[in-house]
Amino acid sequence: MSAEEASELEEEEFSSAPLLVAGETIYLQIAEALAGERLDKALARSTTELSRTGIQRLLAMQAVLQQPAAAQYDQSLWQRVASDKERVKAGQWFALQVPAPTPMALQAEAIPLAILYEDQDLLVVNKPAGMTVHPGAGAEGWRGTLVNALLYHCRDSLSGIGGVERPGIVHRLDKETSGLLVVAKNDATHQHLSSQFAIHSTTRNYLAVLKGVPEASGTINAPIGRHPKERQKMAVVAHGRAAVTHFRRLHSWQGSLSLVRCQLETGRTHQIRVHLAAHGFPLLGDPLYGRSFVAPQRWPEEVRALVGNFSRQALHATSLAFTHPKTGKRLQFAADPPADFQQLVQALHSLA
Q: What is the pLDDT of residues 35-65, one digit of tens each?
A: 998 898 888 888 876 777 778 888 888 888 8
How far apart CA 247 and CA 217 sit, in angstroms, is 6
161-181 burial: b if 16+ Cβ within 10 Å, else e: bbeebbbbbbbbbbbbbbbbb
Least confident of 53-67, 68-82, 117-131, 257-271: 68-82
174 catalytic residue (yes or no)? yes
- Which residues contact residue 17 at a Cβ distance below 8 angstroms, ignoring those fewer than 6 apart? 11, 29
Are 297 and 171 in contact, with CB atoms under 8 Å apart?
A: no
Q: What is the set of domains in the chain, with CATH numbers?
A: 3-97 (3.10.290.10), 115-198 (3.30.2350.10), 203-349 (3.30.2350.10)
Tell me the average pLDDT across 163-190. Answer: 92
Q: Is the pLDDT of residue 5 over 70?
A: no
pLDDT at 72: 53
Out of 40, 121, 174, 286, the active site residue is 174
Confidence (pTM): 0.73
